[in-house]
Amino acid sequence: MLVTRENKLGPETRPRVLTEPVSELTTNRLSVYLRCLSALDAEGVRTISSQALAEQFHLNAAQIRKDLAYFGEFGVRGIGYYVKELRRHLRQILGLDRGVRVGIVGAGNLGLALADYGGFRDDGFEIVALFDTLKDKIGRRSRGGVLIHDVKDFKKIARRESVGIAVIAVPAAAAQAAVNTVVAADIRAILNFSPGAFKVPRGVKLKSMDLTVSLESLSFFLVRGETDA
Amino acid sequence: MLVTRENKLGPETRPRVLTEPVSELTTNRLSVYLRCLSALDAEGVRTISSQALAEQFHLNAAQIRKDLAYFGEFGVRGIGYYVKELRRHLRQILGLDRGVRVGIVGAGNLGLALADYGGFRDDGFEIVALFDTLKDKIGRRSRGGVLIHDVKDFKKIARRESVGIAVIAVPAAAAQAAVNTVVAADIRAILNFSPGAFKVPRGVKLKSMDLTVSLESLSFFLVRGETDA
């Protein structure tokens, strides 16, 4: 256990200063808790116990307590968690309170769909720019109004727009070049939708989501009947 | 090692009959190899060694050989792999040669974007139906022409359209109900984009991709500078 000076109970509790690395599985769960708390807050729920939170959203109460304890003492004995306060803390822990600005490389079907997907904005992510190599696309906008820039101007635009996260949504053959462009502009966090394995320098985090790979894995399951996850 | 009767080398080689379960990491890599082979085939490349394949696409040559050996002996000494043949075998192994029909529950931003995303069709997945609960949406079509049905008719439409995989793209609060609807229609493979943890019976495979969770994990990395993946 970490010991912190500020250890009061209740809504005033502050997140801990961390001294250990946090696993990605933990941060993924924090995201899920945040989504659940937002839903509860929207319903007007003021407090909730870890047990009730777990039951309502099919989560694990012990895991919730353990994950949250890592960041501070948010629970109040006999009351549980204050929904609004815990939500605010989680947003702060995840860096969402400052707003995160996102640039998308690739203004094809997927890039345009992602640019206009309302779900990101609701969660504190703002898509501020699209980038492409095709002359026909540069200077046009997505249906939602996001301007498409020449990828050659990535560094300049990314700085001007304070882009924190780059999304890569280009064909496989162009993906490593896109990753290199983004890394050269000092972007340290990349969400990649292009197939393949890409090299990034130390200190840069690249997460890959390949929609087709997921569908193909399900297709394989249907053919073979494999059930190992 | 498995021993198979048909063990000829060259393009005539058939995939093995499997006697062991295959990990999802393996099938994910097969998907990546397939994408690489499709790119090579489009470029007119006829044969490639595991080393050249690995170098060109930033993969691991030993891993490629091991993964493919699991399904059959596809490599030819001194030649490598026949690109077209190996591509055809991988499509067959992944069940893509039969065409996979997909229904999407949720005709919001994300559902509509996925329905019209050309990348799926290129890879052998056909989006045959959208489903929603909102009267305003039912009977309308996505920009690409996919009809939106009442989710109450899911079972009937899914059977008529031979839906193999269901995609869930509904708000968090509606997601477990959508999963239940799909499972009740005997769908055994689900790709879920809604946040949260969902219960499915044995024999049903559910894969979750939460775009916001991925972005939030990257945001956390930017705030804290964690580098563990």
For every residue of A103-128, DSSP letters joined together read EEE--SHHHHHHHH-HHHHHTTEEEE
Query: In angstroms, rounded to a whole number, what is the distance separating the alpha carbons of residues B147 and A97?
Result: 39
Give chain B's mean pLDDT.
85
Give chain A's mean pLDDT.
85
What confidence score (pLDDT) does residue A154 get?
A: 98
Residue with the larger pLDDT of the pair A157 and B59: A157
Among the residue ranges A44-58, B85-99, B104-118, the one predicted with the least confidence is B104-118
| High-pLDDT (> 90) share of chain A, % | 50
Query: In angstroms, rounded to a whole number, what is the distance separating the alpha carbons of residues B198 and B63?
Result: 33
Nearest to B156 by CA among B131, B129, B181, B185: B185
Given a cut of 80, is residue A36 above it in pLDDT?
A: yes
What count of other Cβ atoms lies within 10 Å of the Cβ of residue A45?
Answer: 15
Interchain proximity B35–A95, CB inside 8 Å: no
CB B119, CB A126: distance < 8 Å: no
A56 near B CB under 8 A: no
Band (pLDDT 50/70/90 cuts) for residue B1 is very low
Band (pLDDT 50/70/90 cuts) for residue B225 is low
Q: Among A22, A57, A219, whose Cβ lies nearest the Cβ of B95?
A: A219
Query: In angstroms, rounded to a whole number, what is the distance separating the alpha carbons of residues A131 and A188?
Result: 18
B19-77 per-position pLDDT tens digit? 566 777 888 889 889 988 988 998 999 999 999 999 988 889 999 999 999 888 898 88
What confidence score (pLDDT) does residue B46 get?
A: 96
CB-CB neighbors (< 8 A) of B120 in chain A: 211-212, 215
What confidence score (pLDDT) does residue B70 get?
A: 87
Interchain proximity A207–B220, CB inside 8 Å: no
Band (pLDDT 50/70/90 cuts) for residue B171 is confident
CB B175, CB B198: distance < 8 Å: yes
CB-CB neighbors (< 8 A) of B227 in chain A: 21, 202-203, 205
Band (pLDDT 50/70/90 cuts) for residue B88 is very high
Nearest to B29 by CA among A213, A224, A168, A179: A213
Query: In angstroms, rounded to a whole number, what is the distance separating the alpha carbons of residues A223 and B132?
Result: 28
Strands B100-105 and B81-82, sheet pairing? unpaired
* pLDDT winner (highest mean) among A32-46, A171-185, B139-153: B139-153
The SS3 of residue B37 is helix
Query: In angstroms, rounded to a whole number, what is the distance separating the alpha carbons of residues A87 and A83?
Result: 6
Q: Could you say which residues from 67 to 96 on chain A have a Cβ atom under 8 Å away from some Cβ of chain B?
A: 93-96
Q: How far is CA B158 from the centre of its chain?
A: 19
Place of tokens 């966090």: A189
Given a cut of 50, is residue B205 above it in pLDDT?
A: yes
Nearest to B199 by CA among A217, A59, A36, A64: A59
What confidence score (pLDDT) does residue B3 get?
A: 34
Helix, strand, coil shares of chain B, percent, nearest 5, are 40, 15, 40
What average pLDDT does this structure show over A78-98? 92
What confidence score (pLDDT) does residue A7 get?
A: 37
| High-pLDDT (> 70) share of chain A, % | 88
The SS3 of residue B56 is helix
How far off is chain B from A219, nearest CA to CA, in Å? 6
Query: In angstroms, rounded to a whole number, what is the distance separating the alpha carbons of residues B114 and A110?
Result: 8
Residue with the larger pLDDT of the pair A171 and A152: A152
Strands B47-48 and B81-82, sheet pairing? antiparallel
Given a cut of 80, is residue A125 above it in pLDDT?
A: yes
CB B161, CB A20: distance < 8 Å: no
What confidence score (pLDDT) does residue B26 get?
A: 86
CB B134, CB B195: distance < 8 Å: no
CB B190, CB A229: distance < 8 Å: no
Place of tokens 């807050």: A41
Query: In angstroms, rounded to a whole number, what is the distance separating the alpha carbons of residues B165 and B52?
Result: 34
**Residue B168: enclosing H or E segment and its boundaries?**
strand B165-168
Given a cut of 70, is residue B10 above it in pLDDT?
A: no
Interchain proximity B94–A223, CB inside 8 Å: yes
Residue with the larger pLDDT of the pair B216 and A228: B216
Band (pLDDT 50/70/90 cuts) for residue B12 is very low
Given a cut of 80, is residue B13 above it in pLDDT?
A: no
CB-CB neighbors (< 8 A) of A172 in chain B: 35-36, 39
A34 near B CB under 8 A: yes
**Both tokens of residue B126?**
């056909």
Band (pLDDT 50/70/90 cuts) for residue A114 is confident
Band (pLDDT 50/70/90 cuts) for residue A1 is very low
CB-CB neighbors (< 8 A) of B164 in chain A: 219, 222
The C-alpha angle B214, B175, B139, rounded to 5 degrees, equals 110
Which residue in chain A is spatially nearest to B195 when comparing CA positions?
A32
